Structure formats: C-alpha cells, structure tokens
Structure 1
Amino acid sequence: MHKQIFVNLPCKNLPASKAFFEAMGYQFNPQFTNDVGASLILGDNLFAMLLTEDFAKGFTSKPIADAKTSTEVLVCLSCESREEVDSLVAKARAAGASVPREPQDHGFMYGHGFEDLDGHIWELVYMSGSPGQR
C-alpha cells in the first residue's frame, strides 16, 4: 500500500501560513520548502504541502476553492490524548485560527478542530476505544 501522504493546500500568504504552523510547534522539511511551497511535517510520513495559489494552479485545471467560503477537504489528524487535542486547538487559536465549533465528545472518540488562516479545516481526534465502548 501507500507509504506517505502529501495533502496539498493552497495558501494566500505562504510566509504567514508557515509562521502560523510554526507557532503551533510544527516544523517544515527544508528539502521541499521554497518561496512557492512548504512541506509541513505532521508526523512520520505525513505531510501537508502548503502551496501559493499561483503554484497550486499548475497542478489542476479546476479553479482553486476559497476555503473560507467552501469546503474542499477536511484534514483529520489523530492525537495521543484529549489534552493533546485541546492543546493544539489552543495553540491554533493563539496563532490566529478560528474555532467555529465546540469540542465533540462521543465517548470512545473526542474531537475538536480549527480553521487555519486560509480557512482549511483541521480536525483533531483522540480515540480511546471503538464505537459502543465507553
């Protein structure tokens, strides 16, 4: 099967987006980062490529969605604990993210999320079991 994932996300202001994620404690792979794209390291073999809108347009013939007015993708990342979920949302908020929803507690799964500077939705979840378990 697949060995890595690269989620490509267009950004209106790449330096601001990089600063936002750095404020949350994330790092970028300098080997794949330049003036038009930045490789955000999310975990082992998990990456988001933050691309300037002009550069992103070179990969598709479709218009680039405005993530502040429409949803083109929901990025969901697993976390090690409820505390990690809440900590990352707090860091995102402090760095300028909006947090449009309250946390969701489904017993076996706890989640919360934020919208980054471009409006991309990042969901964070901690799963302590499977449905039906509490």
Structure 2
Amino acid sequence: MPRAIFVNLPVADVAKATAFYEAIGFEKNPTFSNEQASAMVWSDSIYVMLLEHAFYRTFTNKQIIEARTHSGALLALSFDSRAEVDAITQAALAAGGKEMHDPEDLGFMYSRAFDDLDGHGWGPFTMDMAAAAEAHAQPAEA
C-alpha cells in the first residue's frame, strides 16, 4: 500500500457530514462506510474518516474537542489555481460551512479558510513554489 493519510474527524451527524463533504468534492467509499462512519476519499492518498462521536471515542481516551470553539487542527488542501480554491470554498459555504476569514493573497500563495458543519477548519490554497522560494530567499525588510 502506498503511503497515505487518513484524517479521522468526530462528527455529530454522519449523514449530514457526508453530504457536506460530497458537496465540496470528496467521494464516499461505501466499502468502509456505515451509520457510524463515512470514508471520504479526496485522492489516492488522502482520506477523511467522518466518525460519529461514540465511535470516535473507541479510538481515544481523550475528550473530544468542541471544534466550533476550540481548534485542534487546521487542515490544508492544495489546488492548482485560485479558481479551484474559490470553488471549493463557495461549495463549502453553500453546503452550510462558515468562512473563517477573508481570502489571503501573499503574491506567491492564495488561500481561503472555512469550517465544516462540525467546526473543523480547512484551508484550501494554491502556491507558486518558485515564487515562494524567491520570496523567502530575499532578506526581510527592517
């Protein structure tokens, strides 16, 4: 199996969370989904597991954070263009997500940020790696 990441997120309502993630471009893998969990596929190596709270608790003894008021992680997805960053953000907002802050344009990088239905933060972005390297190679202004 190639290296992959499986992000496990606690959600209040698996069906509603699944619909949200499908609306922003994830695909549900029915083989690993049931009423307790949905396996959402972003790419061949990125998966988001939406786990009902009781099921999530079987994986940890720690208290589940209230992601609407506490931050435990900020998850970023890269895109090839500003239009794609804007499109996923608009899809998230249309599906009930909340924009976290205004778009950020650093010249070499453009990003947006939104919370899903449960408050988990996502930051879609696009970056020109050559321009980023050049920007970071220049001495900082005093």
TM-score by length of 1: 0.94
Structure-2 residue corresponding to 1:66: 66
Structure-2 residue corresponding to 1:47: 47
- Match of 2:125, SS? strand
Name whichever of 4-13 and 29-38 sits farther off. 29-38
Q: Is the 8 A contact 1:39 1:50 kept in 2?
A: yes
CA distance in 1, matches of 2:123, 2:105: 13
Structure-1 residue corresponding to 2:30: 30
Structure-1 residue corresponding to 2:75: 75
Q: Aligned pairs, how many?
A: 132
The offset of 1:20, in angstroms, is 1.0
- Match of 2:88, SS? helix
Alignment map for 1:1-134 (pairs within 5 Å): 3-129=3-129, 130-133=132-135
The offset of 1:61, in angstroms, is 0.7
Structure-1 residue corresponding to 2:140: none
Bigger helix share: 2
Q: Is the 8 A contact 1:78 1:124 kept in 2?
A: yes
Q: Is the 8 A contact 2:25 2:42 kept in 1?
A: no
Question: What's the C-alpha RMSD, in Å, of the aligned pairs?
Answer: 1.2
- Match of 2:111, SS? strand
Q: Is the 8 A contact 2:24 2:91 kept in 1?
A: yes
Q: Is the 8 A contact 1:114 1:122 kept in 2?
A: yes
Q: Aligned AA for 1:58?
A: T
CA distance in 2, matches of 1:17, 1:66: 15
CA distance in 1, matches of 2:69, 2:46: 26
The structure whose Rg is larger is 2
CA distance in 2, matches of 1:131, 1:112: 21
CA distance in 2, matches of 1:60, 1:83: 38
Q: Is the 8 A contact 2:113 2:122 kept in 1?
A: yes
> Identity of aligned pairs, percent?
39
